[in-house]
Structure 1
Amino acid sequence: MKKFQAQPGFVVQAFRFALDPNAAQEHALRSHCGAARAAYNWAVGWVEASWWQRRAEESYGIPEADLTPWRPWSLPALRKAFNEAKHTDPRFCGWWEDNSKEAYSTGLANASAAFDNYAKSKRGKRKGRAVGMPRFKAKRKARLACRFTTGTIRVEAGGRHVTLPRLGAIRVHESTVKLLVRVQSGTARILSATVRHERGRWFVSFQTEVKRDLVRVARPDTAVGIDLGIKTLAVMADSAGEIREVPNPRHLATALTELRRASRVVSRRRGSDRRTGQKPSRRWEKANAARNRVHHRVANLREDALHQLTTSVAAEYGTVVIEDLNVAGMVKNRRLARHITDAGFGEIRRRLDYKVKRNGCRIVAADRWYPSSKTCSGCGVVKAKLPLHIRTFHCDVCGLVIDRDANAALNLAALSAAAVAGTAVGGDQGAQAPKPRGADRKTRTTRPRLTAGTGRAGGATLPHQRQQETRDRTQAEALTLW
C-alpha cells in the first residue's frame, strides 16, 4: 500500500473515538473483522502453497527450470487472485458478499506486509529481531480490526454519529466536534478509518490530513533533561537549574488486590477446555468480564497519566533530552519487570517524540551508554561504579551531595548545549564502529591530574578550562541527536 505524503503545511494525525453500536451493528463489525482475518489466512496459505510444492518437487530431483513458479505476494497480485477464488473457494462461498470489500483488502494488505517483512529480515535489510514466516491467525486469538480506505467515510453533522461503508451510521460514545469543526472549515480531510475492538469496547480511528500551525512553547530557550525511574516516574531538571519530580502513580500495583480477588473468582468457575470441548459457564463468563474490567481500568488510567505528562513537557520546553533505555532488556529482570511495564518507559519516549516535534521543538536522545547517574553534575567527574541501591550521589572531588535521579537529570539537561553546537550527531563521518557487546563503552573514571612537585590535585580541582574540555568530550562521545 502506498504511503501517504502530507501536503506542505499539513500533517497526518489520527482522531480516535469510542463507539456505542447496537446489537446488529456489533454483529456486522465482528463479521468485517472476521472477513479480514479469513482473507489474511487465505493469502498466507495461497502464497506458501507454491513454496511447499517447490520443496516437494525438488526432493524428486526436478530441475529448477521445471519447478512450480513462485506465487507473488504483492497487494495487487493478491487482490487479483482473491477475486478469482472467492466465487469458488468453499471458505467464502455464501457469505463474502455480506461484508465490504475493504474488509478483505485489509487482510490481504496485512499479509502482503507480513511477507515483505519476512523477506527483508531474511536478507538482513530489516532492523530489529528476525521475523519468521507469516502464520495463520486463530479465531480465538486474533485482534478484531478492519480498515476502510474507500466508500462513505464521514463524521455526521450532529457530532454524535460516524458513517462507515456497509455499516451505516454508528453512534459514538463521545462527541466528534473536535474533528467535525476542522472538516467543515476545510482544515482537515479524512483519509481512512479503522475500527478496532480493545479493552472491552469498539473504537474508530480516523486518519486525517490536518493543517496544523506551530504552537510556541512557554519556554523555547530552555532545555529539560528527563530521568525515568520506578520510585519516581520522572525527575525533570531544566537548564535554569530547576528540578521537578513527577510521582509514580503505580496504577497496576494499586489494583493488584482487586485483581487477585477477581482472578480467584474466575479460577473457581467452570471455564473452557479445548481438549474435551467443554464450553465456559455463564458464571465464568461473568467473572472473567469483571476481571477484564479491572485490567481495562488500569490501562485507561495509565494512558491518561502518560498523556498528561508528555503533553505538559512538550508545551513548556524547547529542547527535551531523554535517555535511550533498553526497556526490552530491563523487563528481563523478574524483580522489576512488573514495575517497569506499569510505568510505561517506552510509551513515554514514543509520545514525547511526536508531541515535541509537533510544536517545532527538538528532542535529543542520550546514548544508551552515557553515564548520566555516575557523572557529577557539578565538576564532571565520573564514578567507576554506582550500585542501584545507592540513591544519593556523593562526589569525592568537589563534595557535591545530591539525589541520584536529580543528578542524572541535570547531566541530561547539559547535553542540550552539545546538541546545539552540532557535536556528536549520529552518523558523523569518521566515527568508529563500536566493538561487539559494547566492549568499548566501559565507563572510565575521570580523576584530577596531580600538579608536578606538589603532590596535590592542582588546587583540589581541575583547571576550569581543562575541566570544561573533559565534560564536552564526554558528552560528545555519548550524545545522539534523534
Structure 2
Amino acid sequence: MSENNNIVSLSHKIEIYPNKKAKTHFRKAFGCSRLAYNWGLAKWQEYYKQGIKKTHLDLKKEFNAIKKTQFPFVYEVSKYATQQPFLNLNLAFQKFFRDLKQGKVSYPQFKKKRDNAGSYYIGGDQVVLSDTNKNSKKYKKIITECNAQYLKVPNLGYVKLSERLRFSGKINSVTISQNGDKYYASFSVSIAEENYQPQPKTKLGLGIDVGLKSFVSLSNGLEIKSPKPLAKLASKLKTKSRQLSKKQHPKTKGDKTKKSANYLKASLKLAKLHRRIVNIRNDFLHKLSSSIIKQADYICLEDLNVKGMMKNHKLAKSIADVSFYEFRRQLEYKAKYNGKEIIFADRFYPSSKTCSQCGSIKKELKLSERIYYCEDCGAKIGRDYNASINLLRLIEKQIGQVLPEFTPMDLTAMQSNLAINRIVTSKVEVGIQQKSHL
C-alpha cells in the first residue's frame, strides 16, 4: 500500500482459474518476460565492459528495434511482458548501488526458467473486468452467478477470478503469477482517501515482545504462539525433497538429461507443500497483525537485527519459521493505512533486563532465565511480559502522555477477535509478586 495526495494505492491478490489454453499463454508470457530481463542484463554487462553507459530506456529501445526480426513470438503476448522487465532491471541496479553504500552486494542475477513458477506484468490501460464470460459465444444468454467476475487478458481472452475485486477505483496494473499448480492475478488499485474506512481510534497502546517460545507477549497480558508450519511439516518436506532428487533430471550445469514426467510430478508435489507452509504462516501473521492494529493506536516493537540473528545456525531455522521481519512489515503498512503509530525501541534498549516496577537494570540475564527476578524491589514476573511492559512505558515516554489501560472489555474484545480467527491465546499472570521487606 502507498499513499500520495489523498490517493491510496492498494493491492488485492486473487486466484484465477485458467483453462489449458490460458495456461499455455501464461507460460509463453512468463518466458517472454524472462527473455527481456536476461537480454537487458546481458547487454548492460556487455556495454559496461566496453565503458559505455546505457540506461534501461536505451536498452528497451534497442530491444524493441530487433524484436520483430529476432523475437517475433513476443507479439503473441501483451506488450508489457517485454517492457516492464527493463523497469525492473533498473530498480534492481538502483538497489545494487544503494546496498553498496552499506557494504552489501546484491548484483542483479539472471532469471532461471522454473517449471511451476513465473510472472509477468500487464499495464492498467489493458485491464478489463467483466461480470460475464465473453469468451463464450452464448455469453449474452448466460446469467452468471452474482459473485462471478472475469479478467480480460490481452491476446488471450477472459479468465475467471475466484472472487470479485475488493476495491473500486482506478486499476494501475495486474501481475499474473504462478505458484505450483495455482495461478494468481495481483491487482494494484488507486482509490480516493474518502472511499476507504480505516479502523476506529482506541487511544490504547501495546508493547509487543517477540520471541521463539511465545511468538508475541503483549503488555495487556496475552501470549500468542506461532503455528510453526515448517517445524511441523519438516519430515514431509524432507521426504518429498529426497523423492524429487531421485527422479531423472539434469543434476549439474550443462547436463542435457531430460526431466522425466515423474520428476515434474514430484516437483509439483514439493511446490504444493512449500506453498502450504507459506500460506499457514502468512494466514497467521495477517490475522494477528490485523487484530493488533484494530485494538491499539500505539504499538512498540524492538528493532531486531533479524539478519544477524539468522547467522546463528542453531536458531536460524526457528527464526525463519516464525518470520519476525514479515510480522513487522505487516504491522508497519497496516498502521500507516489505518492512521496508527508504530514506535521502535532502539536495538540496544534493555527491555528484558529492566525491571518494569522499579526501573533497575540487570547486568546479566541469560536466555534460559524465563522468570525475571528483581534483586532491588523483589519483583517476580515473566521475562517476556516484563519486556512488553517496558516497551509500553517507552510509548508513553515517546508521545509524552499516559495511555489508558486495557479494560476487561477491551481484553475480551481482542480475545474474541483472535478466537474468531482461530488464534490460540493464553493469559499470563498480570499481578506482580514482590518480596516482603518487613
Shorter-chain TM band:
0.7 to 0.9
> Which of 87, 98, 102 is the equivalent residue of 2:68?
87
The aligned amino acid for 1:51 is Y
Distance 2:268 2:329 in 1: 31
Distance 1:208 1:6 in 2: 13
Q: CA deviation at 1:283?
A: 2.7
Q: Which residue is equivalent to 1:371?
A: 350
> Which of 20, 24, 44 is the equivalent residue of 1:23?
20
CA distances 1:55-78 after superposition (whole Å, capped 9, x unpaired): xxxxxxxxxxxxxxx242143x23
**Does 1:224 pair with 2:206?**
yes
Q: CA deviation at 1:176?
A: 1.0
Gaps of 5+ in 1: 55-69, 183-187, 423-459, 461-482
Q: Which residue is equivalent to 1:12?
A: 9
Alignment of 1:14-93 (within 5 A): 14-54=11-51, 70-75=52-57, 77-88=58-69, 90=70, 92=71
**Does 1:129 pair with 2:109?**
no
CA distances 1:202-251 after superposition (whole Å, capped 9, x unpaired): 21111111234453436x221101111111111111xxxx3101122121
Q: Which residue is equivalent to 2:85?
A: 107
The aligned amino acid for 1:347 is E
Q: CA deviation at 1:401?
A: 0.6
Q: Which residue is equivalent to 1:425?
A: none
Instruction: After superposing the two structures, state which structure 1 stretch, 146-155 or 322-331, moved more.
Output: 146-155
Distance 1:160 1:72 in 2: 43
Higher RCO (CA-CA < 8 Å; seq separation 6+): 2
Q: CA deviation at 1:150?
A: 4.5
Query: Is the contact between residue 205 and residue 297 of structure 2 (CA under 8 Å) also seen in structure 1?
Result: yes
SS of residue in 1 equivalent to 2:283? helix
The aligned amino acid for 2:54 is P
**Does 1:215 pair with 2:203?**
no
Distance change in 2, residues 1:168/1:37 (3 Å): same
> Which of 243, 256, 264 is the equivalent residue of 1:285?
264
Distance 1:116 1:256 in 2: 37
CA distances 1:138-176 after superposition (whole Å, capped 9, x unpaired): 33499622111243303222533112322321112x211
Distance 1:148 1:338 in 2: 36
Query: Is the contact between residue 154 and residue 190 of structure 1 (CA under 8 Å) also seen in structure 2?
Result: no
Q: CA deviation at 1:264?
A: 3.8
Distance change in 2, residues 1:264/1:111 (3 Å): closer
Q: CA deviation at 1:381?
A: 0.5
Distance 1:320 1:4 in 2: 20
Q: How many residues align?
A: 384
Alignment of 1:439-450 (within 5 A): none
Distance 2:318 2:230 in 1: 8
The aligned amino acid for 1:175 is E
Distance 1:228 1:78 in 2: 46
Distance change in 2, residues 1:231/1:273 (3 Å): same
**Does 1:146 pair with 2:124?**
no
Distance 1:128 1:310 in 2: 32
Q: CA deviation at 1:365?
A: 0.8
Query: Is the contact between residue 227 and residue 323 of structure 1 (CA under 8 Å) also seen in structure 2?
Result: yes
The aligned amino acid for 1:178 is R
Distance 1:7 1:115 in 2: 28
The aligned amino acid for 2:171 is I
Query: Is the contact between residue 266 and residue 287 of structure 1 (CA under 8 Å) also seen in structure 2?
Result: yes
> Which of 151, 155, 168 is the equivalent residue of 2:157?
168
Query: Is the contact between residue 233 and residue 246 of structure 1 (CA under 8 Å) also seen in structure 2?
Result: yes
Q: TM-score, normalised by structure 1?
A: 0.74
Q: Which residue is equivalent to 2:412?
A: none
Query: Is the contact between residue 12 and residue 208 of structure 1 (CA under 8 Å) also seen in structure 2?
Result: yes
Q: Which residue is equivalent to 1:157?
A: 131
Q: Which residue is equivalent to 1:465?
A: none
Alignment of 1:70-469 (within 5 A): 70-75=52-57, 77-88=58-69, 90=70, 92=71, 94-121=72-99, 124=101, 129-132=104-107, 134-140=108-114, 144-157=118-131, 159-172=148-161, 174-179=162-167, 182=168, 188-211=169-192, 212-217=195-200, 220-237=202-219, 242-274=220-252, 275-421=254-400
Q: CA deviation at 1:345?
A: 0.5
Which entry has the higher C-alpha Rg, 1 or 2? 1
Query: Is the contact between residue 40 and residue 89 of structure 2 (CA under 8 Å) also seen in structure 1?
Result: yes
Distance 1:104 1:266 in 2: 33
Distance change in 2, residues 1:116/1:210 (3 Å): same
The aligned amino acid for 2:198 is V
The aligned amino acid for 1:36 is S
Q: CA deviation at 1:106?
A: 1.4
Query: Is the contact between residue 226 and residue 322 of structure 1 (CA under 8 Å) also seen in structure 2?
Result: yes
Instruction: After superposing the two structures, state which structure 1 stretch, 378-387 or 208-217, moved more.
Output: 208-217
Distance 2:109 2:270 in 1: 30
Query: Is the contact between residue 116 and residue 181 of structure 2 (CA under 8 Å) also seen in structure 1?
Result: no
**% same residue:** 30
Query: Is the contact between residue 56 and residue 89 of structure 2 (CA under 8 Å) also seen in structure 1?
Result: no
Instruction: After superposing the two structures, state which structure 1 stretch, 325-334 or 263-272, moved more.
Output: 263-272
Q: Which residue is equivalent to 1:449?
A: none
SS of residue in 2 equivalent to 1:19? strand
CA distances 1:311-337 after superposition (whole Å, capped 9, x unpaired): 000001110111111111111111111
Distance 2:4 2:156 in 1: 28
Query: Is the contact between residue 236 and residue 406 of structure 1 (CA under 8 Å) also seen in structure 2?
Result: yes
Query: Is the contact between residue 203 and residue 297 of structure 2 (CA under 8 Å) also seen in structure 1?
Result: yes
Q: CA deviation at 1:131?
A: 3.4
Distance 1:352 1:257 in 2: 32
Distance 1:118 1:32 in 2: 27
Q: CA deviation at 1:294?
A: 1.8
Q: CA deviation at 1:14?
A: 0.3
Q: CA RMSD, aligned part only?
A: 2.4
Q: CA deviation at 1:256?
A: 2.0
Q: CA deviation at 1:286?
A: 2.4
